[in-house]
Structure 1
Amino acid sequence: MLLLILIPLLSLLFFFFFLNSNSNSKVPKSYPLVGSFFAFLANRKRPLPWLSGIMQVSPSATFVLRRNYSTRQVFSGNPAVVQHILKTNFSNYGKGHVINRTLTDFLGHGIFNIDGDSWKFQRQVSSHEFNTKSLRKFIETVVDTELSDRLIPILSSAAKQGTFLDFQDILQRFAFDNICKIAFGFDPAYLLPSLPQAKFALAFEDGVRISSERFSAVHPVVWKFKKLLNIGSEKRLKNAISEVRELALNIIKEKKQRLGEKESLDSVDLLSRFLSSGHSDENFVTDIVISFILAGRDTTSAALTWFFWLLWKNPEIESEILNEINEKSEAPVFDEVKDMVYTHASLCESMRLYPPVPTDSKEAVNDDVLPGGTVVKKGMRVTYFPYAMGRLEMLWGSDWAEFKPERWLQKEEESWKFVGRDPYTYPVFQAGPRICLGKEMAFLQMKRVVAGVLRRFKVVPAFEEGVNHEPEFVSYLTSKMKGGFPVKIVERDHLRHDGTES
């Protein structure tokens, strides 16, 4: 009887919402029983612009949405709130139950899906891989070899033959080879001229996408029910996870064998450190391998994809970067990329608009009050929002929509000096105790790719002719350019002075 009453009531609320809402510009109304459920439903395919629009008109850049009858979630782009949850009251905000239950199948108990002592241990062991000696080795051997032996020949061949490439896919392959080589001493050879469709890489992509889609399900019970019955997307996820874990396990077993054959390896990598730390549980180490592949493959490739798109839209900035590349061309590889100030600023500006991780949520361990007065109850999720923060006039001025590297620079005589923003205004790499360990490694890798590619080639987007195409920014666990990034590669020797083909 109750169900017969609720169904027409919910239907009336649904139609009332669509007739009366302006979901693009203000906090949606909360209705009895269902909260703002219909607003979430209507915008489930465009959550980032929808939530950003709400934040842009919220005076404190913080608002609360009632997702259903019992669940409230805080969204904030206020630097004071970000600092509070990531540093000041760090112990009260962890990954929490929602994140953990949604991602455990794929990420297990790896560093990005846990809190407490296990997180501290993984972070402590990992931190040894990011000293200056390791970073220099990474750039001078791993990245430079992958660039000169694989990426440049593929781009050169595409330029000569006039073929098109999905540059997002190319950059993912490049980053995937790099992280596997530096972290695990394993070369997957994914960026070969044949562009092989490796089962592992395809499975990894499916695992990331389907795991993240669980968050946008109408209700968690939907994906849990599909998982229980082993149907649809959950069946595909199960198969993908099996494929990913099998390869990760093979990497671990091979490394164990090599460690057993020698008292010490010539080169100590991240995987060797974990296996030598007394943790021989292969499932645990497999979780670590998967987490670091996610971090190393998806974040830098996402950042570079949007960076090259923005350079094409802003040729004057590309010219400034080319001037810097030419000025540094005689320096050793590591010193060259380390000192590319204008390029560094341009990458920061690109990630302001298109952050590799657009949102991040924490769950309150105990009741709390955020700066500004928002009350947080135990178990509530607080989401800080790098994507929306990059679009806030209160943080970046009225010209926030412009791609403007100069906002990160200060002129000193004839040269530029980089002037960073605090990590709570610009939390692209998180902040506080969980700030990204690989931040400097990521910048060095990206600058080396930019220098190596732009020195010889112009990357020209190849979307449908005659269409003013603006690629769609989508977010899984990391961001993507929906449908890929089709490009034409043009040798700079074949360009006129105005940048067009000769």
Structure 2
Amino acid sequence: MFIQLLSLAIIFFLTLPFLFFILKNSESQKLSSTSSVLPKSYPVIGSYLALKSNLGNRVQWITQILQNCPSATYTLHLVLGCRKVLTANPDNVRHILKSNFNNYPKGPFFITAFFDFLGNGIFNADGDSWKFERQVSSHEFNTKSLRKFVETVVDTELHDRLVPMLSDAVSGNKVLDLQDVLQRFAFDNVCRIAFGHDPACLLPSLPQTRFADAFEDATHLSSQRFRAPLSIIWRMKRFFNVGSERKLKIAISRVRDFAKKIVREKKQELSNKSSLESVDLLSRFLNSGHSDEDFVTDIVVSFILAGRDTTSAALTWFFWLIYKHPEVENEILEEIKEKSDMPVYEEVKDMVYIHASLCEAMRLYPPVPTDTKQAVEDDVLPDGTVVKKGTMVTYAPYAMGRMEKIWGSDWAEFKPERWLRREEAGKWSFVGRDPYTYPVFQAGPRICLGKEMAFLQMKRLVAGILRRFKVVPAAEEGFQPVFVAYLTAKMKGGFPIKVEERGELD
């Protein structure tokens, strides 16, 4: 390992003089000051300079490039002749995620970058390990489990914790960080339904948890590894345990300690009872013969990531968008009022306009804005792009939501109606989109198992909040939130809000 690092370091430092020469003489080539949006490529270092200068707005930069490519696909030249293919072409996405699925696994580059954090969890697994984890996990998403999730877990968290907290914010004229509140809500939900464990993060005191901070650091720093223009830098920092890699090691240790505590408690619970009243996801894995603590810990960490960060990200942007579009909020309120006499599960299932509004919010601000695979063998994409063995291929849902060819000239507008049509009776009906045009939940064999569960949770929360409260940004007039992307999306700096009492809808 040391010899490999030393070899890479020597290559890197030999190229430094050339790199500095290019840097000194290429200011006019930067994206911000050039008439062309396509990054300049140089010998040896490729488009390193453009990539480095756009790390802070990487997703927006990729989008701008793909919007200006005829086939919405671009081959980015990296250091030492490596390449990465970027695409927002639905035909290419179908090819990668379905038609030639076996040629595009996560791949060793992705798995290595995230292994310390995610291990062999489902988000970081390929092959037989992924198939096994998916098969066991699929039992958690049947109709019975979904109904239980909405009627017990989500509803209890909503009425016993979230609504009282929002009422308290109204009476005390408090400012809340809605992004933080939603992460706590989602974290409690996923732990209760998947592990049978209640971390009680969404209490009125909003308790500070070492785990939440550590999880945020682990997600952010692992993402920095994957997106680093030169992986040799983080590898060397990890080897010497310094800087961001030292911080990452501490964060991962705290995350895994928490996850192992959940696993051990569940093992003890299973050993003390011959049968449980209900079987959660963690129990299924432990009863499947895979009781290795590290492996099951990987499962727990992956499902926390899936349940905590994705739905909370989608909802954060949703509440911002409906504040900016009061006509949409009014339509949502009408739907809530119309469905209020229905049983909880049926009510949520039947909320078509809210469903469309959530889809539209995620079109513009997808919780996972990009996803990357690595080619096993040489290939050619449907648009003619050549992919060499070992090349990373990134498809970008964020960019795809901003393509005029896909969504029309009004793509920049927030319009839930683009997902709806009026029936003869005047009611809305939902019109879905091709998942390869809208791969917010992935598509093909790896399509998100929790998609329906996520929608049920989000719709129940939206109805539960808006029935009683109006959410108002607490920032100054003209505030524009910034979309940032780690493993999942965030609103930079959080989303400060004030809550106004609406009263029960008549």
The TM-score bracket by the shorter chain reads over 0.9
Structure 1 residues 59 and 261: CA distance shift in structure 2, 3 A: same
* Residues 1:145 and 2:145 aligned together: no
* Equivalent position of 1:486 in the other structure: 496
Q: Answer whether contact 2:468 2:504 (CA < 8 A) is retained.
A: no
What is the number of residues matched between the two proteins? 493
Distance 1:231 1:220 in 2: 15
Tell me how far 1:417 sits from its aligned partner.
Answer: 0.7
Q: What is residue 499 of structure 1 aligned with on the other side?
A: none
One-letter amino acid of the counterpart of residue 427, structure 1: P
Aligned residue number for residue 15 of structure 1: 24
Distance 1:173 1:9 in 2: 48
Matches of residues 276-287 of structure 1 in structure 2 within 5 Å? 276-287=287-298
Q: Which residue of 1 aligns with 2:448?
A: 436
Once the two structures are TM-superposed, the CA of residue 216 in structure 1 deviates from its matched residue by: 3.1
Q: Which residue in 1 is equivalent to 2:201?
A: 190
2: CA distance, partners of 1:134 / 1:461: 35
Looking at structure 1, the residues matched to 13 and 492 of structure 2 have their Cα atoms a distance apart, in angstroms, of 41
Could you say if the C-alpha distance between residues 36 and 416 of structure 1 is closer, same or farther in structure 2, counting changes exceeding 3 Å?
A: same
Pair 1:86 & 2:86 matched: no
Residues 1:271 and 2:282 are matched in the alignment: yes
1:444-463 matches, within 5 Å, as: 444-463=456-475
**One of 140, 144, 150 as aligned partner of 1:129:** 140
Which whole-Å deviations, capped at 9, do the CAs of 1:141-193 have from their partners, x for residues lacking one?
00000000000000000011101000000000000000000000000000001
Q: Does 1:64 align with 2:75?
A: yes
**CA spacing shift, 1:4–1:79, aligned 2, 3 Å:** closer
- Distance in 1 separating the partners of 2:233 and 2:44: 19
Matches for 1:199-214 after TM superposition, within 5 Å: 199-214=210-225
Deviation at 1:288, TM superposition (A): 0.2
Aligned to 1:500: none
C-alpha separation in 2, matches of 1:87 and 1:264: 40
Q: Which residue of 2 aligns with 1:229?
A: 240
CA shift, 1:6, in A, is 5.5
Partner of 1:249: 260
The 5 Å alignment of 1:243-392 reads 243-392=254-403
The answer to whether 1:97 aligns with 2:105 is no
1:22 Cα deviation after fit: 3.6
Partner Cα separation in structure 2 for residue 248 and residue 216 of structure 1:
26
Provide structure 2 residue ranges, at least 5 long, that are not aligned to the other structure: 1-10
Q: Is the 8 A contact 1:142 1:178 kept in 2?
A: yes
Name the SS for the 1:304 alignment partner.
helix
Matches of 1:494 and 1:142, distance apart in 2: 23
CA distance in 2, matches of 1:306, 1:3: 41
> How far apart are 1:494 and its partner, in Å?
11
2:435 is matched with 423
TM-score, structure 2 normalization: 0.95
**In structure 2, C-alpha distance between the alignment counterparts of 1:9 and 1:241, rounded to whole Å:** 37
1:161 maps to 2:172? yes
- Give the Cα–Cα distance (whole angstroms) in 1 for the partners of residues 19 and 128 of structure 2: 45
In the alignment, is the contact (CA less than 8 A) between 1:168 and 1:484 conserved in 2? yes
- Give the structure-1-normalised TM-score: 0.96
Q: Which amino acid aligns with 1:469?
A: F
Deviation at 1:218, TM superposition (A): 3.8
In structure 2, the CA distance between the partners of 1:395 and 1:254, relative to structure 1 (3 Å rule), is same
Measured after TM superposition, the shift of residue 11 of structure 1 is 2.7
SS in 1 for 2:80: coil
Task: Check conservation: 1:95, 1:115, Cα contact below 8 A.
Answer: yes
Q: Work out whether residues 27 and 65 of structure 1, in 8 Å CA contact, stay in contact via their aligned partners in 2.
A: no
| Superposition RMSD in Å | 1.7
Give 1:236 shift.
1.4
1:360 alignment partner AA: D
Determine if contact 2:217/2:251 at 8 Å carries over to the other structure: yes
Match of 1:498 in 2: none
Structure 1 residue 223, shift from structure 2 partner: 1.1
Partners of 2:380 and 2:386 within 8 A in 1: yes
Cα displacement (A) at 1:217: 2.6
Q: Write the distance in 1 (CA, Å) between the matches of 2:403 and 2:224.
A: 27
Report the counterpart of residue 482 of structure 2 in structure 1.
Answer: 472
Unaligned runs of 5+ in 1: 496-502
Q: 36, 40, 44: which is aligned to 2:47?
A: 36
Quote the sequence identity (%): 66
Deviation at 1:4, TM superposition (A): 10
